[in-house]
Amino acid sequence: MMESFIHRLLNLLLPQKCIGCNKKQVVLCRECLETLPLPDSEGPRNIFAAAHYDYETTRKAIWFLKYRGVKQLAEPLAELINTRCSFIKHRVFNQGEWIIVPIPLSSKKMRERGYNQAELIAKHLSDKINIGCLNDVLYKKFHTESQVNVKNREKRLENLKDSFGIKNPEKIKDKNIILVDDVSTTGATISEAEKTLLEAGAKKVIAIVVARG
Q: List, for residues 108-124, the tens digit of each pLDDT value.
A: 999 999 999 999 999 99
Residues 6 or more apart in contact with residue 98 via CB below 8 angstroms: 92, 131, 175, 176, 177, 178
Output the CA–CA distances (angstroms, integers) from residue 147 to 5, 72, 153, 184, in the order listed: 24, 25, 10, 10
Q: Which pLDDT belongs to residue 187?
A: 87
Question: Under a CB-based contact definition with an 8 Å cutoff, are residues 121 and 78 in contact?
Answer: yes
The pLDDT of 65-75, averaged and rounded, is 94
Question: Under a CB-based contact definition with an 8 Å cutoff, are residues 210 and 51 in contact?
Answer: yes
Using pLDDT thresholds of 50, 70 and 90, give the confidence band for residue 81. very high
Output the CA–CA distances (angstroms, integers) from residue 44 to 32, 54, 212, in the order listed: 27, 17, 10
The pLDDT of 195-209, averaged and rounded, is 96
At residue 59, does pLDDT exceed 60?
yes
Report DSSP letters for 141-175, one per residue.
SS----GGG--SHHHHHHHHTT-EEES-GGGTTT-
Q: Which pLDDT belongs to residue 162?
A: 85
The pLDDT of 19-23, averaged and rounded, is 93
The pLDDT of 68-76, averaged and rounded, is 94
The percent helix, strand, coil of the chain (3-state, each to 5) is 45, 20, 40
82-88 contacts at long range (C-beta below 8 A, 24 or more positions apart)? 82/125, 82/128, 82/129, 83/50, 84/38, 84/50, 84/51, 85/48, 85/50, 85/208, 88/48, 88/206, 88/208
Least confident window among 25-39, 67-81, 91-105, 180-194: 91-105
The pTM (predicted TM-score) of the whole model is 0.87
Nearest to 137 by CA among 190, 86, 99: 99
Grouping H, G, I as helix, E, B as strand and the rest as coil, residue 179 is: strand
At residue 38, does pLDDT exceed 70?
yes
Q: Which pLDDT belongs to residue 101?
A: 98
Q: In percent, how much of the chain has pLDDT > 90? A: 66
CA gap 185, 170 in Å, rounded: 31
The pLDDT of 185-203, averaged and rounded, is 93
Q: Which pLDDT belongs to residue 14?
A: 47
pLDDT single digits (tens) 154-190: 666 677 788 999 999 999 999 999 999 999 988 889 9
At residue 22, does pLDDT exceed 90?
yes
